[in-house]
Amino acid sequence: MSSVSAKMNQDCLEIAVDGVFDIELYHDFNNAYKDYIGKANRYVIDFDRTDRIDSAALGLMLLMRQKVGTENRVIKLINANDKVMRSLETAQFGKLFDMDA
C-alpha cells in the first residue's frame, strides 16, 4: 500500500512518498503540506521509496507548486529512481522544480 509522510525540519517540509504515487494519494499528499503553507520556505519531495509516478501525481505536484507559491519558496525533488526520473524529465519538471537524482 502506498503512503505519504511529512516532517518539518526548521523551515523545510520534507515529504516522502512510499510506493506508487498516483491519484490514490491525492488527499494524503495534499494533507502532507496544506498546514505548512506560509510556514515552510523550502519543500523537499523524497522519492527514495517511490516505485513509480503517473500523470496524476505530476498534476498534484504542480498544484502544490501553485498553492505554496514560487516567490522565495523552493520545491526540491530528490532520490528519484530511473523510472521516476524519466517521468519528471519527460514532463520537463526541471524547469519548474529543483531536481536531484
Domain boundaries, the chain: 3-99
Write out the DSSP string of 71-96: TT-EEEEE---HHHHHHHHHTTGGGT
Mean pLDDT throughout 62-82? 90
Statement: residue 35 has pLDDT above 60: yes
Q: What is the pTM of this model?
A: 0.94
Which class is 3-99 in CATH? Answer: alpha beta
Mean pLDDT throughout 64-78? 88
